[in-house]
């Protein structure tokens, strides 16, 4: 004998919809059934319980006192089942973190390190949103953002990852073809590779501002090449098409590998840096804290590069 001698649970689901809407028609629309099917199920439930659950009026449905008591009980039961399923689903679903960063940061700095994070935290589903129009944490889509600036953003908690150093880079082949390239003023006679994508470059550093900081004014002799993507700028530099400005978080590893070199031993340090940002108004989950601690450790442990013309070595 069944522990719960009840009518079919489908009948209770139909009853709950009719009682909530006070309408056979609306219940039929919600459950994707015909109105006659709803009527048959309600009659079957009333016959099984030997209770009258509704009064059929001219253009309305009224719940009887017995029906109201049953409705309250059925609603509590369905709410409990729904909450239990939601909790079970949340407990078994892999936690997901969405991280927003610039295309260059995501491509050159973050992506090479993701395998290490995956090895340490295989249960966390990491989603990377690479965009030049940052989406700030707290909007519902992004949990963590890596932003370049002063660290002062309203409503955000910002943790400094590292500052920025900017220096010229080119391919070894380009330097061999242009051996008279040692001083900042020598750059005025080179093909300069520019980043232009509708807003000032990070830190406001472009070729003009970099050269001015080195005491060099005037217009370059040769026409430069302009790109709206920093990966394209570096690809052009590696291909030997000219000299680019290297942002250290991207180009330090490329110098260490010998893919690029610094022909002019001058570095400009910006006043701004890269910050790991979360919302002040939304609490951090344990896995977001785990990710932030990991990326902070990665930033603290990255090696610097000794900028020397034609040679790049790790510095301690």
- List, in sequence order, every beta strand (DSSP E) within 53-113: 54-56, 61-63, 96-101
Q: How far apart are CA 304 and CA 278, in angstroms?
A: 27
Q: Give me the pLDDT at residue 164, please.
A: 85
Cα–Cα dist 236/192, whole Å: 10
- The per-residue pLDDT for range 218-255, each reduced to its tens digit, is 888 888 999 988 889 999 999 999 999 998 888 998 99
- Contact present, 171 and 164 (Cβ < 8 Å): no
Backbone angles phi, psi at 239, to 5 degrees: -80, -5
Q: In angstroms, what CA-CA distances link 112 with 104, 117, 265, 275?
A: 12, 10, 27, 19
pLDDT tens digits along 130-174 = 887 888 887 778 899 999 888 888 889 999 998 888 999 999 999
pLDDT higher than 70, residue 314? no
> pTM of this prediction?
0.61
**Rounded CA gap, 153 and 159, in Å?**
11
- All structural domains of the chain: 9-92 (1.10.10.10), 97-315 (3.40.190.290)
Looking from the CA of 18 toward its CB, the CA atoms found within 13 Å total 33
Contacts of residue 193, defined as CB under 8 A and 6 or more positions apart, other chains included, come to 224, 225, 226, 227, 233, 236, 237, 241, 242, 243, 244, 245
Tell me which of 65 and 6 has the higher pLDDT. Answer: 65
- Write the DSSP string, 148-185: EESS--TTEEEEEEEEEEEEEEB-HHHHHH-----SGG
Rounded-to-integer distance, Cα 265 and Cα 112, Å: 27
Q: How confident is the model at residue 306 (pLDDT cuts 50, 70, 90)?
A: low
């Amino acid at each position: 004998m069944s522990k719960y001698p009840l009518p079919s649970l489908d009948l209770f689901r139909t009853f709950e919809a009719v009682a909530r809407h006070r309408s056979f028609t609306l219940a039929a629309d919600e459950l994707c059934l015909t109105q006659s099917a709803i009527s048959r199920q309600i009659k079957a439930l009333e016959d099984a319980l030997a209770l009258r659950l509704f009064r059929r009026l001219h253009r309305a449905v009224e719940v009887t006192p017995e029906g109201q008591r049953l409705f309250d009980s059925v609603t509590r039961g369905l709410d409990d089942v729904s909450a239990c399923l939601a909790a079970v689903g949340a407990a078994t679903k892999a936690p997901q973190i969405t991280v927003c960063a610039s295309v260059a940061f995501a491509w050159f700095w973050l992506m090479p390190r993701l395998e290490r994070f995956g090895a340490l935290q295989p249960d966390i589903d990491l989603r990377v949103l690479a965009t030049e129009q940052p989406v700030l944490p707290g909007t519902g889509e992004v949990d963590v953002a890596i932003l370049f600036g002063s660290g002062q953003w309203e409503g955000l908690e910002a943790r400094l990852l590292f500052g920025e150093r900017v220096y010229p880079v080119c391919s070894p082949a380009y330097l061999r073809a242009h051996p008279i390239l040692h001083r900042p003023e020598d750059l005025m006679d080179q093909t300069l590779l520019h980043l232009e994508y509708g807003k000032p470059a990070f830190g406001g550093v472009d070729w003009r501002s970099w050269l001015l900081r080195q005491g060099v004014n005037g217009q370059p002799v040769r026409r430069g090449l302009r790109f709206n993507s920093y990966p394209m700028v570096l690809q052009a530099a590696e291909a030997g098409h000219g000299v680019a400005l290297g942002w250290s978080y991207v180009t330090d590893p490329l110098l260490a590998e010998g893919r690029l070199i610094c022909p002019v031993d001058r570095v400009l340090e910006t006043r701004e840096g890269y910050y790991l940002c979360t919302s002040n108004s939304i609490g951090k989950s344990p896995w977001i804290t785990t990710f932030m601690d990991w990326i902070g450790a990665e930033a603290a442990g990255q090696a610097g590069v000794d900028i020397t013309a034609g040679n790049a070595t790790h510095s301690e």
